[in-house]
Homo-oligomer: A and B are copies of this chain.
Amino acid sequence: MSTNPAIRHALSTRRADDFAQWYQEVISEAEMAEESGVRGCMVIRPWGYGIWERIQLLMDRRIKAAGVDNCYFPLFIPLSYFAKEAEHVDGFAKEMAVVTHHRLIQDGKGGLVPDPEARLEEPLIVRPTSETVIGAAMARWVQSWRDLPLLTNQWANVVRWEMRTRMFLRTSEFLWQEGHTAHADRDDAMAETLRALEMYREFAENVLAMPVIAGEKPENERFPGAVATYSIEAMMQDGKALQAGTSHYLGTSFAEAAGIHYQNREGQQALAHTTSWGVSTRMIGGVIMTHGDDDGLRVPPAIAPQQIVILPMLREDDGDDALLAYCEELRRALAGQSALGEPLRVLLDKRPGKATQKRWAWVKKGVPLVLEIGGRDAAGGQVSVLRRDRLWQDNGKVNFAAMARDDFAAAAAGLLEEMQGGLLAEAAARRDAQIERGVTSLDQLATYFAEDRKYPGWVECGWSRPTGAALARVVEQLKALKLTIRNTPVGAPAPGGTCLFTGEPAVETIYLARSY
């Protein structure tokens, strides 16, 4: 976030000054989403939704390649299903949208009210997640070991009543995919839990260009009822952690509540072991806070709804036809090529409006490559190329590069792939520079995260993996510093040294951070 006073950035708020305000401004200026007028729910506009469609497409391919079948389960879940869950789940979340009536009537004063005659016998809950209703279906589908593993996924909207909402990061309604699987035994279920986790890690890094730590959450952060919860954790530019995906090994407790029994190879009845795993529109918030800069969003080419936008500088005169023909030829040449394994996504933007206004609109949206082409360029076989990741010259001028059109066409796919890799490398370098490994006491921890320190990043340290009351004490100590334990990286060696909290030998590495 270095600052060059010669540069006049496109946004009015800088990340270094007010990260939260900057985040809202990116979303608004890039026309990604807006408040809907419905409490806690957003309208996802075409540019934001286009990014979600890209995420869906590329994640869905991975899900299908793993042999998981997409299904669709009801939006509504009967209250009694949750009562079953509430019995065996302490941390049962209760903030849910409750449907109690199925009809409106006129109130006689020109308004409408729920019809008292149409009260539901049993209230329905708008799904906050679908473990219970999918568990009930699995109980019908699973009879024998031959039916296992049963691998299902759904793309759906879910609702969790949130008091404080922030677009993409925490909204009452959000879009996600939820994988739900049933297995014959612990090993197979755990392998699936870790497969999904690895799928998310690979996706975050290769598609979102967002480096993450894939690891296990501490006991106090487990999904209610889970035996083990794993997450991918990304560092945002303000140093806070974002949990960007989770995968849970649920043991047999959900199978027991739902009755997912099967006959094993020995002819005996056994309980299935289940998993669930999900990512959501929250990932888009992660992309913004990982790659955005003081000029708006920068979209990794793999998820950019448009990767290249061609802006003809129309003059509403006789020359426009030749200029448009020149641009269209380029568009066609580009659209016939592939980058990152897919055809290039190229838009020739012919809408009315000033070219510079349109340029800045696309810059704020974060299109990787913007081409401006005027009559003189067309006559000379040239294009002016603006890379979103190298927007400014040191003197404060916009960093256009003149190229022969055919040279650009030949280089474009390679440029996009280079930018995809560059965004990941930049984010990884920034994250690694913001991980502090020298903290060995609680006092040092408090000093490191002192109030006057802006964007402090994460602390990596060893701990003794306390449980129960001992863990609760650690959580309290961290809470006083507004910190949480993010996760323990999968497969990392024991760190050596002593635990920051208990003084006992450290057995695991953990990350401590403020978080979204």
Contact = CB atoms under 8 A, between A and B. Distances in A.
Interface of A: 34, 36-38, 41-46, 49-50, 52-53, 69-80, 82-83, 86-87, 94-106, 110-115, 123-126, 133, 136-137, 140, 146, 152, 156-157, 159, 161, 173, 175, 352-353
Contacts of A159: 75-76
B112 A86 contact: yes
A101 B103 contact: no
A104 B76 contact: no
A152 B82 CA distance: 37
B96 A102 contact: yes
B105 A94 contact: yes
A110 B84 CA distance: 9
6 contacts: A42-B74, A43-B71, A43-B74, A98-B102, A126-B126, A146-B352
Contact of A41 (B43, B74, B83): B74
Contact of A74 (B36, B114, B136, B146): B36
Closest 4 CB pairs of A and B: A41-B74, A46-B69, A44-B72, A98-B101
A152 B44 CA distance: 11
A79 B115 CA distance: 13
A83 B123 CA distance: 24
A254 to B, nearest CB: 16
Contact of A49 (B50, B72, B74, B140): B72
Chain A facing B: main interface SS: mixed
Contacts of A157: 75, 156-157
B71 A45 contact: yes
Given A37-B78, A49-B69, A94-B103, 7 more contacts: A41-B75, A44-B71, A52-B72, A53-B70, A79-B104, A86-B112, A146-B352
Contacts of A161: 102-103
Contacts of A50: 69-70
A288 B46 CA distance: 34
B106 A86 contact: yes
Nearest to A106: B86
A70 B49 contact: yes
Given A38-B133, A86-B112, A173 B97 contact: no
A32 to B, nearest CB: 11
A102 to B, nearest CB: 4
Contacts of A72: 43-44, 49, 52, 175
A365 to B, nearest CB: 13
Contacts of A125: 104
Given A102-B96, A104-B98, A38 B74 contact: yes
Contacts of A152: 46
Given A72-B175, A87-B110, A112-B86, A36 B137 contact: yes
A239 to B, nearest CB: 30
Contacts of A98: 99-104, 114
